[in-house]
Amino acid sequence: MSKEFDLTGKVCVVTGGGRGIGRAMAEALGRHGGFVVLVGRTHATLEDAAAAIGDQSMVQVADVSQEPDVLALREVILARCGHIDVLVNNAGVNPIFRGIDRTSLEDWQNIIDVNLTGVFLCCKHLGGAMGAGGSVINVSSVAGHGGLPRSVPYCASKGGVEMLTKALALDWAKRGVRVNTLAPGWVDTELTHGLLEHDVHGKRLLDRTPLGRFATPRDMAGGVVFLASDASAFMTGACLVIDGGWGAE
């Protein structure tokens, strides 16, 4: 492994690390030497992901939208590991694919609470505990750069994550803590499987993706290792887009 991608000794927190993109990212951080803290609401999936990583991991159940959970998470990690070096804010919830007329305030609030407030809370309490050399990676989306049909709350949440990231990167540059986003295109996970398998909508999305396939979670692995490691030491307030060319159009 080349030195600039080495994460040995780094404590890497991954929210939503039990499945999908978060799990693939957690495994990649572990393969590069990081000690991985897997966070989510479901103990069983977190344990399963931790077993795949091995001794270099721990699990902690927490809902990122709940401040007491995030504060408890910080205490547990600092007590066990003593420091936090990498924070991957990946936890996110399903776009509902409905017009605004059929989107309730509750729908809006649920998506904003997890996708945006959850990022705010984890940045504040976990990123706030980082020392110089820390790296925060907020998982955004191509939906944070351009609108998707019938996805007002989701696009608003991801656009918010993009701007939260830029603003925080300015505030924390002097501390030596970097803050970037990683924006995936369409990735086949539980979140999107129904849509991507859909005869009409799935085909339309595939045709619109220049590389001609959907991503696998593993396609996000190299990007998160890059952003977590010294390989990206001069990068902050930026976005790494991994979308098969979707945004080139």
**Contact (Cβ atoms closer than 8 angstroms) between residue 136 and residue 87:** yes
> Taking CB under 6 A as the rule, does residue 153 contact ligand NAP?
no
Q: Which stretch binds ligand NAP (CB under 6 A): 51-59, 88-96, 128-136, 205-213?
A: 88-96
**Residue 15 backbone phi and psi in degrees, to 5:** -80, 145
Cα separation values, 48 from 19, 89, 114, 212, 230, Å? 9, 20, 23, 31, 29
> Which residues on neighbouring strands pair with residue 11, listed in sequence order?
35
For the bound state, the minimum distance from the C-beta of residue 121 to ligand NAP, rounded and expressed in Å, comes to 10
Which is closer to ligand NAP, CB of 138 or CB of 229? 138
Among 26, 29, 77, 91, binds ligand NAP (CB under 6 A): 91
Is 154 labeled as catalytic in the residue annotation?
yes
Q: Which stretch binds ligand NAP (CB under 6 A): 11-19, 79-87, 168-176, 200-208?
A: 11-19
SS3 8: coil
Which is closer to ligand NAP, CB of 1 or CB of 211? 211
- The alpha-helical segments, DSSP class H, found in the chain are 20-31, 43-53, 67-81, 105-112, 118-125, 152-172, 193-196, 199-207, 221-228
SS3 54: coil
For the bound state, the minimum distance from the C-beta of residue 60 to ligand NAP, rounded and expressed in Å, comes to 10
Among 139, 164, 224, 239, binds ligand NAP (CB under 6 A): 139
> Taking CB under 6 A as the rule, does residue 30 contact ligand NAP?
no
**Contact (Cβ atoms closer than 8 angstroms) between residue 161 and residue 117:** no
**Contact (Cβ atoms closer than 8 angstroms) between residue 180 and residue 138:** yes
For the bound state, the minimum distance from the C-beta of residue 132 to ligand NAP, rounded and expressed in Å, comes to 27
Tell which positions 179-198 bind ligand NAP, by CB under 6 A: 184, 186-187, 189-192
For the bound state, the minimum distance from the C-beta of residue 201 to ligand NAP, rounded and expressed in Å, comes to 13
Which is closer to ligand NAP, CB of 7 or CB of 155? 155
Interatomic CA distance for residues 137 and 119, integer angstroms: 10
**Residue 240 backbone phi and psi in degrees, to 5:** -100, 110
> Taking CB under 6 A as the rule, does residue 114 contact ligand NAP?
yes
Please list the active-site residues.
154
Positions that interact with ligand NAP (CB under 6 A): 15-16, 18-22, 40-42, 45, 63-65, 90-93, 114, 118, 139, 141, 184, 186-187, 189-192
